[in-house]
Structure 1
Amino acid sequence: MDFDLTDEQRLLKDSVERFVADRYDFERRKAFLAAEGGFSRENWAAFAELGLLAVPFAEEDGGIGGGPVETMIVMEAFGRGLVVEPYLPTVILGGGILRHAASAEQKADLIPRIAGGEITLALAQIERGSRYDLHHVETRARKDGESWIIDGEKGVVLNGDTADTLIVVARTAGTTRDADGIGLFLVDAKAPGVSRRGYPTQDGLRAAEITFESARAEAALGDPGKGLPILARVVDEGIAAICAEAVGVMDRMRDLTVEYIKTRKQFGVPIGSFQVLQHRASDMVVAIEQARSMACYATMMAAEEDAAARGQAVSAAKVQIGRSGRFVGQQAIQLHGGIGMTMEYSIGHYFKRMTMIETLFGDADHHLEKVAAGESLFAA
């Protein structure tokens, strides 16, 4: 298998890495988080100019025709910079639902506006008690003439407090944990009957609790009773994307740690001259390379049509990402000492983001159970 990047992919890699290096020093990031909505609208417009918001969409739909590798390139660079803009919920998750489920007319309406930076999306999927099970859906959608009315509650909706459009997972038939009878619906975030309560997450990003009280959906995406396989596929793609982001996060933690132990002195010499600390830094490199290999594996399998094979691949990758991320983060904090625990220093913020990634879409223990059982992550 050829793992070399094409000329176009190298150009994308250079441009996004240069943007992150120029725009995302630690102090600027704090200013972005303090802005309205928790991110920079100026940066979001710059993403559109660079074509980053169009990466995974087909050219005929208004995108640039990229695939999982292009997404991996962008997400790894974003991990290194701790980028706070809602790329994952809008382009990867919301955009993924549109790519796999939307009609030609819906794509023509929404995708050019996403690519142009005009709108953001959020996937409203998690509920109380659902944990990591996508088929646990209590929110109901009932037919009302040509439209749908939605009632229910969703939690931890990434960037749900600032999104312009929500993609809501709701049940049209069956009981709470049935695999069938699950639909995907477009809902205007400001529609009557939609109430949102936003809050910062542990890594400083944004999420929301959203309540739907007889909220009218704009449209259904695909078959309103067969949405689970599409949702599972998009979540697999999301896992592959955050695995790549995690590699970028770990890379930066290693760089910051090595730089610190080269300059921090004890007994008149840099602590990096102590062999035991050199060994710990080397162990960090090994853990990162293991994670990078599995992130590449998940990327290559993200477009796999066989749901079982794809689910096994992303679960295996998520296990290694979780283990490597925890090890690298713990070593980074310990080698920094007390300063690594302060809010004023960046290394702790990287570890917080790594911890959030470890739990997003299922932690390492959850995925390890799936791998051991030889099941697809979302087998009913």
Structure 2
Amino acid sequence: MDLAYTAEQNMLEESIAKFLSSEYDLDSRKALANSDLGYSEEHWQTFASLGWLALPIEEAYGGIGGDLVDTMILCESLGKGLVVEPILPSLVLFGGAITLAGSESTKQSLLPALADGSIKGSIAYLEAGAPSDFNHVETIAEQDGDHYVLTGHKSVVFNAASADHLIVSARTSGGVKDLQGISLFLIPAEAKGLSRKDYPTVDGLRASEVHLDRVRIPNANLLGDIDEGAETLQQVINRGILAISAEAVGAMEVLYTSTIEYTKQREQFDHPLADFQVVKHRLTEMFIEYNLAKSLCMKATMLLNQASEDAQRHIHALKFLIGKSSRFVGQNAVQLHGGMGMTEDLAIAHYFKRLMVIDAMFGNANIHLEAFTG
């Protein structure tokens, strides 16, 4: 398996690094996270002009036609800057679902607009009764002539406040936890009967609780086949896991390199901290955990890219390792920085918070360990 980047992928990595160095210091990030919108629309349009939003979209729909490895590089690079713009919910999850299950007319309508930055979307699939099980669906969709009527509640819908469209999972048959009987629906964000409660997350991003009170949508807004949405959801979640794992790898790299620099500068007993053997050992362990996570992220991405039968098992292993390695690297970065490691004025704390949220997303490390060994 060739793990080397192409020249184009190296250029992508370099262009993102250049953007982050000039536009995305900690103070800028904190200001964006605390703003009304929660991110920069100007940055979003810059992402579009640089081709980043078009990266995973097929050329036939105004995109560049990149693969999952390209998206991994994008997310890893943006993870180094703790970027708050809605790449995951809009491009990876919403765009991925449209690509996988959308009709030709839906793709023609939405994918070019995603690529040029003129619309955003998100996906609403989690419910309060089961915060990590996508198959737990109490939201109901009932057919009424040439429309479906949706009623229910969705939790932790990332960036719903800035989305133009939502993809919502609803039950059209079967029991609450059945895989069969889940259907996906495309709903305008301003649809009558749809309401939101928006809130900031602990890592500085935005999410919403979404309530559906007899929301009527045309039959044409069914995404994919009736009762068969679970397979699409699983594929979209797999893409989401790869994206946040790559983001975590980028964040871990920053924590590791920042901690090395700090221990070289901070002195105790007239010696830099990095001179002490116990610190050297700890930095070595951080390096190992980071590289294990990076290697498995690349392998799992390439396997899913190739539609390998081993991809799902590797994705479970990856999500477990990301949770384990993120916690180890983050906790040791904080410890080696001393008390200041947990202050809001130092980037370390912000990276650590993001890593802990990533561990919880799409099922935590323990859930994926159980899936891997089961």
TM tier relative to shorter chain: over 0.9
11-20 or 201-210, which deviates more: 11-20
Q: Percent identity?
A: 45
Whole-Å separation in 2 of the counterparts to 1:244 and 1:302: 14
Q: Deviations over 1:139-164 (max 9, x none)?
A: 01111222211100000111122211
Letter of the 1:150 partner, please give it.
L
Whole-Å separation in 1 of the counterparts to 2:111 and 2:21: 28
Q: Deviations over 1:85-108 (max 9, x none)?
A: 000000000011000000111011
Give the conservation status (yes or no) of the 8 Å contact 2:157–2:209: yes
Q: Deviations over 1:181-231 (max 9, x none)?
A: 111111111111011011111111111001000112351111121110011
Give the conservation status (yes or no) of the 8 Å contact 2:34–2:204: no
Q: Deviations over 1:312-348 (max 9, x none)?
A: 1100111111111110011001001100111111101
SS in structure 2 opposite 1:302? helix
- Residue matched to 2:337: 336
263-272 or 364-373, which deviates more: 263-272
Give the conservation status (yes or no) of the 8 Å contact 1:294–1:321: no
Whole-Å separation in 2 of the counterparts to 1:24 and 1:333: 22
Whole-Å separation in 1 of the counterparts to 2:174 and 2:52: 39
- Residue matched to 2:192: 192
Q: Deviations over 1:16-59 (max 9, x none)?
A: 22212221110110111122220010100000001111111110
Give the conservation status (yes or no) of the 8 Å contact 2:69–2:305: no
TM superposition score normalised by structure 1: 0.95
- Residue matched to 1:68: 68
- Residue matched to 1:121: 121
Give the counterpart of 2:295 among 285, 293, 312. Answer: 293
Letter of the 1:281 partner, please give it.
L
- Residue matched to 2:12: 12
- Residue matched to 2:167: 167
- Residue matched to 1:358: 359
Give the conservation status (yes or no) of the 8 Å contact 1:38–1:84: yes
Q: Deviations over 1:234-289 (max 9, x none)?
A: 10111111111110010000111111111122233322222211211111101101
Whole-Å separation in 2 of the counterparts to 1:342 and 1:211: 36
Number of equivalenced pairs: 372
Name the CA shift for 1:74/1:100 in 2 (closer, same or farther; >3 Å): same
SS in structure 2 opposite 1:170? strand
Whole-Å separation in 1 of the counterparts to 2:15 and 2:137: 41
Give the conservation status (yes or no) of the 8 Å contact 2:53–2:91: yes
Q: Deviations over 1:166-194 (max 9, x none)?
A: 11011111121111111111111111101
Letter of the 2:245 partner, please give it.
C
Give the conservation status (yes or no) of the 8 Å contact 1:240–1:302: no
- Residue matched to 1:41: 41
Whole-Å separation in 2 of the counterparts to 1:162 and 1:261: 41
Whole-Å separation in 1 of the counterparts to 2:74 and 2:167: 23
- Residue matched to 1:347: 348
Whole-Å separation in 1 of the counterparts to 2:255 and 2:216: 45
- Residue matched to 1:101: 101
- Residue matched to 1:263: 265
Whole-Å separation in 2 of the counterparts to 1:245 and 1:8: 20
SS in structure 2 opposite 1:177? coil
1:84 Cα offset (Å): 0.3
- Residue matched to 2:201: 201
Does structure 1 residue 149 correspond to structure 2 residue 149? yes
